[in-house]
Amino acid sequence: MIPRSHLRSRDLLALGTVSFRSRRLRAGLSALGIAIGIAAIVGILAITRSSEANLLAEIDRLGTNLLTVVNGQSIQGVEAKLPSNATTMIRRVQGIEHVAPTAELGNANVYRTDKIPAFETAGLAVRVADTSLLTALDGHLLAGVYLNTATANYPATVLGYQAAKSLGITTTTPSTRVWLGGHWFTVVGILQPLPLAPEIDLSALVGPPIAEQLLGYDGHPSRIYIRADTNHVVQIADLLAPTANPEAPDEVAVSRPSDALAARVAVTGTSTTLFLGLGAVALLVGAIGIANLMVISVLERRGEIGLRRALGATRRHIATQFLTESVLLGAAGGALGILAGVGITVGLATVRGWSVAIPTIAIWGGLGAAVLIGGLAGLYPATRAARLEPTDALRTM
């Protein structure tokens, strides 16, 4: 009785790596297609997760308890005014920690010199702000000092980060001045960036007394920043409009600046889906490359297949051999792609100062997808190889 043919695991591994050893360039290029697709997917998921983690950490650091009260529109569609006592009324709400009123002066602009045409505003604004603003926004100074009870009475200004950058001012000295609302103001301070208040970044801040004296400030705030008890933010937000303007609460807009940052997380997630689709296309191209390689390999090795069949190898052995080869190509491409994706993520995170966050599913899911795609790509060539009759295959030797 003829003994039944067996295919040992170590022999299968040796047979499955024939392409790696004999056709290295072709095998490498085929695996490269899978590597590019997996690298794209791993990199996209990891970079997105790192970016989101950094953004959420920034939100936690800045706080989600900052609220703003802004003058809205009247029934006639014109810009409404907040009452002059809105700040005093808001301070009475239980759970309010800090209140900082500001007012944008539409009739005043800020320039580096008095020689610049009036229409070239560079998007900068002049805002009235009191000494409580820095505390309410948890802001910090880049240079100089902030407004105090003394400087608020004199032509002194504190520039937001972007305003100082646009004006080309980096330091504060007694001779550093800007042309503001038709008057020279001394720059006493420069603020660090305020992610939750980008409008302040583009502003020159002046004190209420000097704004009334020189710039026509009428005492009505246009935007009020509020720090509320973190545990009661929603409830306090519901009370702000009727408190600020009891006669016309519909003319008051209340918002939470941190919601804009949180929305960026959702936008990032939407963009991720698009890029993942592009990664899937790259994987499809890699799968076609492996399938093409395996079909050619079957045609080139017909003699080998016929000889092995004549020596007792079964159809299952032949199919397993070529399927293993295809799976190994996919796995090699997947491993290379994971390393590339992780490397790209670490490099970008280092440059931008993010903490590296690589999802586990990106690693194991990427490797699993590569192995699965390699198997599917080799399924038809393996089946075709297994169907070859020994006599037909040996004729090609």
Residue among 225, 229, 221 at smallest CA distance from 245: 221
Residue 2 has which token pair?
A: 């003829």
* pLDDT at 397 exceeding the cut of 60: no
* Cα–Cα distance, 52 to 257 (Å, whole number): 17
* pLDDT at 364 exceeding the cut of 90: no
Phi, psi of 191 (to 5 degrees): -90, 150
* pLDDT at 226 exceeding the cut of 60: yes
* pLDDT at 309 exceeding the cut of 80: no
* pLDDT at 68 exceeding the cut of 60: yes
The contacts of residue 109 (CB under 8 Å, 6+ apart) are: 118, 121, 124, 125, 126, 180, 181
Range with the largest mean pLDDT of 34-43, 50-59, 131-140, 368-377 = 131-140
Region label for 184, one of left (φ > 0), alpha (ψ between -120 and 50) or beta (otherwise): beta
Residue 25's CB is within 10 A of a number of other CB atoms, namely 7
Phi, psi of 270 (to 5 degrees): -65, -40
Give residue limits of the domains in the chain. Answer: 9-59+262-394, 66-256
Rounded average pLDDT over 268-290: 66
Q: Are 385 and 303 in contact (CB under 8 A)?
A: no
Residue among 105, 189, 198 at smallest CA distance from 151: 189
Burial of 158 (0-12, 13-18, 19+ CB in 10 A): buried
Residue among 162, 158, 148, 198 at smallest CA distance from 180: 158
Provide the pLDDT for residue 117.
82
* Cα–Cα distance, 301 to 304 (Å, whole number): 5
Percentage of the chain beyond pLDDT 90 is: 21
* Cα–Cα distance, 52 to 349 (Å, whole number): 12
100 membership: H or E segment, kind and range: strand 96-104
Does the pTM surpass 0.85? The reply is: no
Percentage of the chain beyond pLDDT 70 is: 75
- For the ranges 140-154, 233-247, 367-381, which has the lowest average pLDDT? 367-381
Provide the pLDDT for residue 1.
42
pLDDT tens-digit profile of 267-276?
A: 555 556 656 6
Rounded average pLDDT over 347-361: 82
Q: Are 217 and 103 in contact (CB under 8 A)?
A: yes
pLDDT tens-digit profile of 173-196?
A: 888 999 998 999 999 999 999 888
Residue 159 is classified by DSSP as: E
pLDDT tens-digit profile of 192-219?
A: 998 888 899 999 999 999 999 999 999 8
* Cα–Cα distance, 188 to 193 (Å, whole number): 17
Provide the pLDDT for residue 37.
81
pLDDT tens-digit profile of 116-126?
A: 887 777 789 99
Residue 39 has which token pair?
A: 């690298």
Provide the pLDDT for residue 161.
95
* Cα–Cα distance, 92 to 101 (Å, whole number): 14
